Chains A and B, each alone.
Chain A
């Protein structure tokens, strides 16, 4: 399975997969916002535990999620390592000859925990329904038509774009082209990308013609019907309730009521 295939595991049966996609998107988004807004590290850890619980409930293969979560986490790590040196504040920890800011360590861990929790939640959010259903659900949540179409077409043609790039690369390789760090390589890659751009542009015109000749007038018709059942409401209340709880506990802990 390729890295682009976000909905490859949409066919699994789990409570998250069975959840009405509109309610799922709205509730998990609320939880994500709640998690990234908490100020206290212990509440953030609670948020992380919640995200992991939801991920486990979704029965998505953990190995694969871990493989994908890796990249955003790599971007968060520098913050975690830099802040202890630049965080300032009066409280410091001295390790051999280096002064580490305690505030920096806390802030770095907070940002890392919140980030990882949010990234983990993106998987139950997007990988548990076929992508078109996710987009239809977003439409149901009043996302503008144009945005929905951009999402759908991006998803549809991303694969083709990658195939075309791979075939260009193969063609370069079969003409004995080897990537080096020199001007010629930059020029060749630049030309190849330009080629890809021109091809995509021409393709977009052909697609538009194909759409118009089948009666397209600006909106994509949809036959998908959603229906909220009792279980959907229960899951939504549970997740939004958890989001609210995080905020309440966070407010209380920053006011010094707890901890």
Chain B
């Protein structure tokens, strides 16, 4: 998606086809967060790592400093900026890796398993950060196996199993239980619950399966009268 891997076909970013000539432009717009934070954090200390991208984009001085501080604050690591990566915990490294890309202020943020191997608290922090970024207009593309975070942040879902198996609005895809099962994925816990409720009690109070907590509460209220 930012020209690292080549294949057949074409990728368009913000309306422009990714080609050899516009790679620097593409890379300044598309931020990639890799799954293993140790691959992402290669500078000797956190602040230098977060400044790496902005400096490569030609930013400097107060503008660069502002981006770096903002990214560190966004992930809540401003107190650890002088630490070297090997002194951070895994959860901190994972958030740090996100900060190194955020500081470039990308319009499209691509993340590979942003919540894998995280403790529940760090996971919540990452999810709410992703949602805040979405609200500020950043396009987010996430590869994940964690279906329960999908309901918290996805608008659209693309199911992949070597090829595209399904593509559509989150609600529609998550309702396709047999496809999710077939791919070895979990069904989100709320979807699972309401599927069972439908099956056992024959409730038809809701046309759509709830995927968020608020919708589920509403649904349950209806069931309970």
Residue positions of A touching B, CB distance < 8 A: 130-132, 135, 152-153, 155-157, 159-160, 203, 206-207, 209-217, 220-223
Binds A, one of B46-54, B123-131, B184-192, B209-217: B46-54
Q: Are A156 and B34 in contact (CB under 8 A)?
A: no
* Known A156-B42, A223-B55; 10 more pairs at CB < 8 Å: A130-B44, A135-B44, A156-B44, A159-B86, A207-B42, A210-B40, A213-B30, A214-B104, A221-B55, A221-B56
In the bound complex, what is the Cα–Cα distance between A213 and B44 (angstroms)?
A: 19
Whether A153 contacts B34 in the complex (CB less than 8 A), given A160-B86, A214-B53, A217-B56, comes out as no
Q: Are A212 and B48 in contact (CB under 8 A)?
A: no
| CB contact between A130 and one of B24, B45, B52 (< 8 Å): that residue | B45
**Cβ contacts under 8 Å, B48 to chain A:** 132, 222-223
CB-contacts of B17-73 with A (<8 A): 24, 27-28, 30-32, 34, 36, 38-40, 42-45, 48, 51-53, 55-57, 64
Report the tally of A-B residue pairs with Cβ distances under 8 A. 81
In the bound complex, what is the Cα–Cα distance between A215 and B188 (angstroms)?
A: 37
In the bound complex, what is the Cα–Cα distance between A203 and B39 (angstroms)?
A: 7
In the bound complex, what is the Cα–Cα distance between A160 and B41 (angstroms)?
A: 11
In the bound complex, what is the Cα–Cα distance between A62 and B217 (angstroms)?
A: 65
CB distance from B18 to the nearest CB of A (A): 12
* Interface: B114 (CB within 8 A): no
Q: Are B42 and A215 in contact (CB under 8 A)?
A: no
**Cβ contacts under 8 Å, B34 to chain A:** 206, 209-210
In the bound complex, what is the Cα–Cα distance between A213 and B210 (angstroms)?
A: 38
**Cβ contacts under 8 Å, B2 to chain A:** 213
Q: Are B38 and A214 in contact (CB under 8 A)?
A: no
In the bound complex, what is the Cα–Cα distance between A155 and B38 (angstroms)?
A: 13
Please count how many residues in chain B sit with their CB below 8 Å of the partner chain's CB atoms. 31
Q: Are B4 and A221 in contact (CB under 8 A)?
A: no
**Cβ contacts under 8 Å, B51 to chain A:** 221, 223
* Closest chain A residue, CB of each to CB of B104: A214
CB-contacts of B81-116 with A (<8 A): 84-86, 100-101, 104
**Cβ contacts under 8 Å, A215 to chain B:** 24, 27-28, 53, 56-57, 104
* Closest chain A residue, CB of each to CB of B23: A212
Whether A132 contacts B56 in the complex (CB less than 8 A), given A156-B85, A214-B101, A221-B51, comes out as no
In the bound complex, what is the Cα–Cα distance between A130 and B81 (angstroms)?
A: 14
**Cβ contacts under 8 Å, A160 to chain B:** 38, 86
Q: Are A210 and B39 in contact (CB under 8 A)?
A: yes
Q: Are B84 and A156 in contact (CB under 8 A)?
A: yes
Question: Sorted from nearest, which 7 A-B pairs have the closest CB atoms?
Answer: A215-B56, A132-B44, A221-B55, A159-B86, A206-B39, A214-B53, A213-B32
**Cβ contacts under 8 Å, A157 to chain B:** 42
In the bound complex, what is the Cα–Cα distance between A216 and B104 (angstroms)?
A: 13
CB distance from A49 to the nearest CB of B (A): 34
In the bound complex, what is the Cα–Cα distance between A241 and B44 (angstroms)?
A: 34
In the bound complex, what is the Cα–Cα distance between A206 and B40 (angstroms)?
A: 8
**Cβ contacts under 8 Å, B27 to chain A:** 212-215
In the bound complex, what is the Cα–Cα distance between A222 and B32 (angstroms)?
A: 22
